[in-house]
Structure 1
Amino acid sequence: MSGARQVKVLYDEHAIAERNKALAIEIAAAKPLDLLVVAVLKGSFMFAADLIRALHRVGLEPHVEFIHLSSYLTGTVSSGAVRILKDIESSVRDRDVLLVDDILESGRTLAFAKDLLVARGARRVMVCTMLEKPGKRAVQISADFVGFTSPDVFVVGYGMDVAHSYRELPFIGHVVMDGD
């Protein structure tokens, strides 16, 4: 069928599970105090869930919050403006916060969230992303913990989407057209 879309696997379920275990060990080594995990919705929901369970397995007892930010509308290119669609309910004052997101690309969303949490009095804000595209940064921010460095393709699966499709995939891949 000409023009059909397929998803090519970049990181399979096993690789993701192993990386989550390693990330949890790295995060525990940072000795967070009164840890609050703030997952950035929607894309990080699968990663955050797996990472939080991995953090438990290494002896951490994080509290969990969600913030829903958007810089994408329905397309594949960031609009550049970050909006808060749902804010966290817990105080971050004098706490260590682990900001968890699916991908660090332009950096706008994570920089906005990190600045917001710092302004609210967080003791330390650490950033953890499943994927990083280092060549795409539009603002100055880096992740403290990174699952994988991603090639410069539009990724889907493991919570990440294109126009709300492909979030359910248990692996990370990218959409290709037949013939690509």
Structure 2
Amino acid sequence: MDDNWHVRVLFDADAIARRNDEIAAEIAARKPKDLLVVAILKGSFMFAADLIRAMHRAGMEPQVEFMHLSSYLDGTVSSGNVAILRDVDSNVNGREVLLVDDILESGRTIAFAKDLLAARGANVQSCVLLEKPGKRAVSISPDYVGFTCPDLFVVGYGMDVAHRFRQLPFIGVMEKDGGEAGA
């Protein structure tokens, strides 16, 4: 990536922290029993970590697992098929599960994970940091949404482009020469 690119802040660190606390309060108000948070890797790792800490502040004690799913494999455009690269270790039968993902666009990944865990006997809800409503390819609505996101290519707060920018404490938009990058 050349040096003509920069990242414009879309959602700053303070707004993200406030929203995490609000989501945690909404989840805590449901009083879930034996909650298992399943973070979908890689993009959700920062969001999941901060959300779990916010749940702790809200008086919750969730357990945590990870799934690594991919619909991209080696490409940059979704193949439409979801592959399990790493599955959860826990038995989810009879448990309340909160799936946590970074972006809900086509919906294929989170719908796949939700259907898989529900087939194993879990009561599954979903939480996404960003939702891009105009991109849906399957019928799914998240139970909790951090922010509705414009149809832009975003990075930061765990999300990347070519394995760069995950470390940013905010969500930003890639821009080149003063213009926005394509979605």
TM-score class, shorter: over 0.9
Count of residues in Structure 1 that have an aligned counterpart in Structure 2? 178
> Deviating runs (4+, > 6 A) in structure 1?
none
Q: Which whole-Å deviations, capped at 9, do the CAs of 1:21-74 have from their partners, x for residues lacking one?
A: 000001111221110000000000000000000001111110000000011235
CA distance in structure 2 between the partners assigned to 1:160 and 1:76 by the alignment: 14
| Match of residue 60 from structure 2 | 60
Counterpart of 1:165?
A: 164
Normalization by structure 2: what TM-score? 0.94
CA RMSD of aligned residues (A): 1.3
In the alignment, does 2:122 pair up with 1:142? no
Show the 5 A alignment for 1:1-180.
Answer: 4-122=4-122, 124-180=123-179
| More moved, 67-76 vs 80-89 | 67-76
User: How big is each residue's C-alpha offset from its partner over 1:123-180, in whole Å with a ceiling of 9 and x where there is no partner?
Assistant: x101000000001000011100000000000111000011211111110011111131
Gaps spanning 5+ residues in structure 2: where?
none
> Aligned with 1:159: secondary structure?
coil
Q: Which blocks of at least 5 consecutive residues in structure 1 are unaligned?
A: none
Give how far 1:3 is off: 7.2
- TM-score, normalization: structure 1? 0.95
Contact 1:75-1:162 at 8 Å conserved across structures:
no
SS in 2 for 1:126: strand
Counting aligned pairs with the same residue, the percent is 71
Q: Give the aligned residue type for 1:66.
A: F
The whole-number CA distance in structure 1 between the counterparts of 2:148 and 2:49 is 20
Q: 1:3 touches 1:178 (CA, 8 Å); kept in 2?
A: no
